[in-house]
């Protein structure tokens, strides 16, 4: 039986939005390197491959921490499990701002990823705790929308700060934002989860049981693979290589390229809640998930395989490609459909681990394919994302069960 924390609606919405602000911050930090590529390569003496690996360090700890983060949410107070990661994020951002080479830069990204690993899980757990189950897909979409807005803030709006203060001072400012958020979370989030085992006397057997339950479920792996494939355009392109791709292949200015990449995040922001609402209304998951893969493949192929497109068409294709990545957010509704309350946070962490693996894989992979940075090499790197989207369209048709259940509340 699903049990929900009973709070006034206004307070529930406030807590959800406050938690989602952590996700907004995390996404802004995650993609901030996309508008700093030239400065980072110059100041830290990096090649395209080196930049890809350094940026990818964010995803290594983010990936490793997903299941532990979920387990911590299943066993400790929400407030505590949010505040500490926010402070780790702030520390990593400060370390990154002092970097003069790949080692310290990678350490900063490593710490940022470790702290950020808790953000998306936190928002979905709060949504599951405080709102009715039939709204979860919509709330997952809204969560992704807020994440996309955070990513947009880490792109074009960051440029004036970069131009005026430089990337080091800008990163230090982001660290201050994380500290303020930690203070607000500590002061405002005080509810306790209904299905949480607080400070269990024998946590190890319980933890191992939760992990075994997840990894022994074939659907968990299939849905995770789908989520990874659908996130490839955002992690590999929008988060790092999209701006230099548009500058090189389409001969756009830095500001024009960053503005167009922001359209991918806008498409994701608008598409995620809409897709969640449609899926909940129709009680179908598979067809919307498959359409996201195939529509994204068509839209992204237009961008990747051309060298001359009208600005409006280029922007429209990027917007649609971003909107198609909404399937990644809907995959978390599938996870919830198939998870028990006691393992929900860990299951969400497992699926989100697959999402961030996309960054760890595609950022250095595309960086290696880009090589000398010619237009042809940039397009070769983009073809990897096209292949990922094709696979993402096929997985729901042949591997994902259409299970939509709204369990009774207690």
pLDDT, tens digit (0-9, with 9 covering 90-100), for 253-271:
988 998 899 899 899 989 9
Asked if residue 245 has pLDDT above 90, the reply is yes
Instruction: Using the structure block, give the residue that is written with the tokens 């498959």.
Output: 290
> Looking at residues 204-230, what average pLDDT do you find?
81
Asked if residue 59 has pLDDT above 50, the reply is yes
Task: Fill in the DSSP letter of residue 37.
Answer: H
Q: Name the percent of the chain lying above pLDDT 90.
A: 39
For 80-134, the pLDDT digits (tens) are 899 999 999 999 999 999 999 899 999 999 999 999 989 988 998 888 888 887 7
Report the alpha-carbon angle 340-331-153, nearest 5. 120
Here the contacts of 369-375 (C-beta below 8 Å, separation 24 or greater) are 370/48, 370/241, 371/48, 373/48, 373/244, 373/248, 374/248, 375/248, 375/249, 375/307
Task: Fill in the DSSP letter of residue 343.
Answer: G
Asked if residue 312 has pLDDT above 70, the reply is yes
Residue among 359, 307, 309 at smallest CA distance from 56:
359
DSSP assignment of 48-104 equals: HHHHHHHHHHHHHHHHHTHHHHHHHHHHS-HHHHHHHHHHHHHHHHHHHHT-SSHHH
Asked if residue 286 has pLDDT above 60, the reply is yes
Specify the pLDDT at position 389. Answer: 96
**What's the CA gap between 379 and 383, in Å, rounded?**
6
Phi, psi of 8 (to 5 degrees): -55, 145
Specify the pLDDT at position 4. Answer: 57
Q: Name the percent of the chain lying above pLDDT 70.
A: 91
8 A C-beta contact, residue 112 and residue 93: yes
Q: Which residue has the higher pLDDT, 405 or 214?
A: 214
pLDDT band at residue 408 using 50, 70 and 90 as cut-offs: very low
Residue among 99, 111, 100 at smallest CA distance from 29:
111
**What's the CA gap between 138 and 127, in Å, rounded?**
10
Asked if residue 199 has pLDDT above 50, the reply is no
Domains and CATH numbers, the chain: 9-190+208-398 (1.20.1250.20)
Asked if residue 200 has pLDDT above 70, the reply is no
Specify the pLDDT at position 387. Answer: 96
Which helix (H) or strand (E) covers residue 278, if one does? helix 254-282
> Looking at residues 286-295, what average pLDDT do you find?
94
* Lowest mean pLDDT, pick from 9-18, 148-157, 324-333, 377-386: 148-157
Instruction: Using the structure block, give the residue that is written with the tokens 């090499």.
Output: 377
8 A C-beta contact, residue 250 and residue 367: no
Asked if residue 204 has pLDDT above 90, the reply is no
**What's the CA gap between 148 and 155, in Å, rounded?**
11
Specify the pLDDT at position 2. Answer: 47
pLDDT band at residue 193 using 50, 70 and 90 as cut-offs: low
Q: What does pLDDT average to over the chain?
A: 85
Among left, alpha and beta (phi > 0; psi -120 to 50; other), residue 409 is: beta
> Looking at residues 228-250, what average pLDDT do you find?
92
Residue 61 burial class via C-beta count within 10 angstroms: exposed 0-12, middle 13-18, buried 19 and up? buried
Is 190 strand, coil or helix?
Answer: coil
Specify the pLDDT at position 352. Answer: 83
Specify the pLDDT at position 155. Answer: 67
8 A C-beta contact, residue 115 and residue 92: yes
* Lowest mean pLDDT, pick from 117-131, 287-301, 345-359: 345-359
DSSP assignment of 102-146 equals: HHHHHHHHHHHHHHHTTHHHHHHHHHHHHS-GGGHHHHHHHHHHH
Residue among 327, 230, 239, 241 at smallest CA distance from 288:
327
Specify the pLDDT at position 158. Answer: 80
Task: Fill in the DSSP letter of residue 156.
Answer: G
For 359-389, the pLDDT digits (tens) are 778 888 898 888 878 889 999 999 999 999 9
8 A C-beta contact, residue 135 and residue 9: no
Asked if residue 298 has pLDDT above 90, the reply is yes
Give the per-residue SS3 of 375-393. Answer: HHHHHHHHHHHHHHHHHHH
Rounded (10°) angle between helices 48-64 and 66-75: 30
pLDDT band at residue 149 using 50, 70 and 90 as cut-offs: confident
Asked if residue 209 has pLDDT above 80, the reply is no
């Amino acid at each position: 039986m699903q049990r929900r924390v009973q709070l006034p609606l206004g307070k529930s919405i406030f807590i959800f939005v406050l938690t989602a602000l952590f996700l907004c911050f995390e996404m802004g930090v995650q993609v901030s390197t996309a508008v700093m590529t030239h400065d980072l390569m110059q100041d830290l003496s990096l090649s395209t491959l080196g930049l890809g690996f350094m940026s990818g360090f964010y995803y290594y700890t983010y990936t490793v921490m997903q299941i532990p983060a979920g387990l911590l949410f299943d066993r400790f107070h929400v407030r505590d499990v949010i505040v500490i990661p926010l402070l780790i994020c702030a520390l990593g951002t400060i370390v990154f701002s002092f970097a003069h080479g790949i080692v310290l830069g990678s350490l900063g990204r490593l710490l940022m990823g470790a702290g950020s690993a808790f953000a998306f899980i936190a928002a979905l757990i709060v949504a599951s705790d405080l709102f009715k189950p039939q709204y979860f897909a919509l709330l997952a979409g809204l969560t992704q929308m807020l994440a996309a807005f955070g990513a947009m803030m880490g792109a074009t709006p960051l440029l004036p700060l970069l131009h005026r203060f430089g990337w080091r001072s800008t990163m230090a400012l982001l660290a201050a934002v994380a500290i303020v958020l930690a203070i607000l979370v500590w002061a405002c989030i005080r509810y306790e989860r209904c299905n949480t085992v607080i400070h269990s006397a024998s946590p190890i057997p319980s933890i191992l049981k939760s992990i075994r339950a997840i990894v022994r479920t074939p659907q968990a792996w299939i849905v995770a693979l789908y989520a990874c494939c659908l996130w490839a355009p955002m992690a590999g392109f929008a988060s790092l290589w999209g701006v230099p791709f548009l500058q090189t292949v389409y001969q756009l200015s830095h500001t024009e390229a960053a503005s167009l990449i922001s359209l991918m995040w806008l498409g994701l922001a608008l598409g995620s809640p809409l897709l969640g609402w449609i899926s909940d209304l129709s009680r179908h998951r598979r067809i919307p998930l498959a359409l996201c893969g195939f529509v994204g493949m068509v839209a992204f192929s237009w961008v990747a395989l051309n060298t001359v497109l009208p600005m409006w068409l280029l922007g429209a294709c990027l917007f649609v490609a971003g909107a198609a990545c909404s399937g990644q957010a809907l995959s978390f509704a599938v996870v919830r459909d198939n998870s028990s309350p006691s393992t929900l946070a860990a299951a969400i962490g497992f699926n989100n681990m697959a999402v961030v693996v996309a960054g760890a894989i595609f950022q250095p992979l595309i960086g290696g394919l880009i090589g000398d940075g010619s237009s042809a090499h940039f397009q070769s790197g983009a073809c990897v994302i096209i292949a990922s989207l094709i696979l993402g369209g096929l997985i729901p048709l042949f591997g994902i069960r259409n299970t939509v259940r709204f369990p009774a509340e207690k």
